[in-house]
Amino acid sequence: MRHSLIVSMARCATVGVAMCMLGGSASSASAQDQAFERLNAEGVQLPDVANWKPEGQVPRTADGKPDLTGVWWQGHDFDFNPAPRPAAPRPPAAAPAAPRVTYQSLYNDAAKAKLKTLSAKDDPSLQCIPEIDGPQTSDIFQILQTPKFIAYLQETFHGFRLIPLDGRPHSEIAPPQFRGDSVGHWEGDTLVVDVTNFSPRNWVFYGVNGLPSIHSDALRVTERFTRIAGNALQVERTYDDPKVLTRPFMKPKKIFTLAPYDQVMEVICTMNATGALMESAAKLEPAR
């Protein structure tokens, strides 16, 4: 799959302490099932892998921190011509208590006015400018971990972030960046990353199949990475932009599983198909 892709385009804090002690006993298996059911009931986006469940002990580094190292994905690469996938069995999810809150539903009046002037074809990623949140259909990333730094490598657009863990403040000299300026710290077994200093030129989310997700230079993103099992990394992101949003937007939690390889590959945007992509984006524009 990965080789054909290159040819085609040249988750203790949430589910309980038991999840940190997963092993081979019957009680551990029961803890796995309970955690799985809770994740599903909470509406967490689970990996697109048949019969997937969180399992295995959480590895730790020499300094006792959870080891987040690995290549993480949702179970598939990008599909240019996606075929229906067999649905993995899932317990019935709890009925939503309220209409789903989206990023765009929190726009202030000024952002709503700007939204009317934009369409999917204006998505900066069509000009090879990466979105902040990462590709929605091919979000594959690699984490390399040391006591002082986390290296976060994004496969699509082949980008990276270096996240210092030594308590330093945000850089005062770095220019605005598409992926922002990151600093991290540990809260128990969760890595918390604070990201600021974004360039306002990109969007937050990939917009071809959805509404534009604009932001300002005041955007602040809080990320929480928790390895909840040997094969599962839970990612939570909150977006706070007082110039654009009426309140912070909390993106639904997502669980990534370990990919069956140990390094990301080079997936570069070359703009060779920009015109065709923009034309397709215009055709996919949702009604609003």
Q: What is the pLDDT of residue 36?
A: 62
Asked if 205 and 103 touch (Cβ cutoff 8 Å), the reply is yes
Q: With left for phi above 0 and alpha for psi between -120 and 50, is residue 20 left, alpha or beta?
A: alpha
- Using alpha carbons, select from 133, 161, 139, 140 the residue that is nearest to residue 149: 161
Instruction: List pLDDT tens digits, range 139-186.
Output: 899 999 999 999 999 988 778 999 999 999 999 999 999 999 999 999
Which residues, in sequence order, are bridge partners of residue 240? 220
Q: Which run of H or E residues covers position 150?
A: strand 149-154
Q: For 86-112, how does the pLDDT look when each residue is reduced to its tens digit (9 = 90+)? A: 444 555 555 555 678 899 999 999 999
Q: Which of 190, 168, 170, 192 is nearest to 180 (CA)?
A: 170
Give the chain's residues under pLDDT 50.
1-25, 79-88, 208
Structural domains of the chain in order of their starting residue, each with its CATH number? 2-78+101-283 (2.40.128.20)
Q: For the chain, how many residues are written?
A: 288
Q: How far apart are CA 266 and CA 6, in angstroms?
A: 8
Burial 253-269 (b: 16+ CB within 10 A, else e): bbbbbbbeeeebeebeb
Task: Round to whole Å and give the CA distance between 194 and 189.
Answer: 16
Nearest to 66 by CA among 186, 222, 175, 240: 186
In degrees and rounded to multiples of 5, residue 2 shows phi and psi of -65, -40
